[in-house]
Amino acid sequence: EEAEEALDDDVVKVNNIVNSFRLQSTSFDKKGYLSYLKGYMKAVKAHLQETGASAEEITKFEKGAQTYFDAKAAHIAKLRAITRYLHGPTAGEDDDLVIVVDGFDVLAQIPAETLIQRYFDVAAAADQRLADQRGLTVEEVHSKGLRQTVLWGTDKGCFPSSGNGDEKQRDPRCWLVPFSTLPRYVWGPETGTGGLPFSDSRFVNSGTVIGPLGDLRTLIDATLALIEDTFDPEYKYHNSDQYYVSTLYARQEYQR
């Protein structure tokens, strides 16, 4: 065997990519990162101007950049922020249970242990319903790739809707979703009579979701792909994450 080549004591081993491209490590706090990003966006705008981009194209870029991760400007930005975490190095294992809640209208009222137990109870009951609907056992349903693992919050009304009256009734997001398992007269004797306060809480509310990290990541990625494929800036609710999540849910129920 050939002897290993001797190295001088002052030789330093480096990462070829880092060394060749002269990459520098960085460390930002939030303020520093925003300052850096502002300079970067300014440089991109200057490049667009230098390469002959129209004023309309530049304005479109600026608006898009402002709303990409800003959920206050565009609710679909919330999905991008979630997937950034779910794909991140600190996200955890695929079987870890993740809960995402809307910071504006959610109030935690029960201990975490109770919440987790209720999740597993609800998921098990949902799997049993899937099995009963098909005349199969839960194990047989699971073997076919059917199971309930991601649970969304619910709304009494279908929002956003594509229109009013008959048009709204034809929207699969509004009629294809299953009814809840709440008691028949849970909202009193007027339950189901048409008024929103007495309606069944069965429609998707994208403000709250719980499920295994891996399954939730798959679902959010699929929702972002749906946005990419169908995004229409002229549609009134084109920035509604709830619209796309509920559309994907309706497609699932249709396939089932």
CA distance 210 to 102: 12
pLDDT in tens, 146-170: 999 999 999 888 888 765 555 556 7
pLDDT in tens, 176-230: 888 888 898 998 999 888 788 899 899 999 989 999 999 999 999 999 999 989 9
* Residue 213: Cβ-neighbour burial (10 angstroms; 0-12, 13-18, 19+): middle
CA distance 227 to 196: 29
pLDDT in tens, 80-107: 888 888 988 767 789 999 999 887 777 7
> Is 0.75 surpassed by the pTM of this model?
no
What angle, rounded to 10 degrees, do the helices at 241-255 and 77-86 form?
A: 70
Domain boundaries, given as residue ranges, for the chain: 1-74, 75-255
Q: Residue 41 is inside which H or E element, if any?
A: helix 30-50
CA distance 79 to 89: 18
Q: Where are the beta strands (DSSP E) in 24-163?
A: 97-101, 151-155
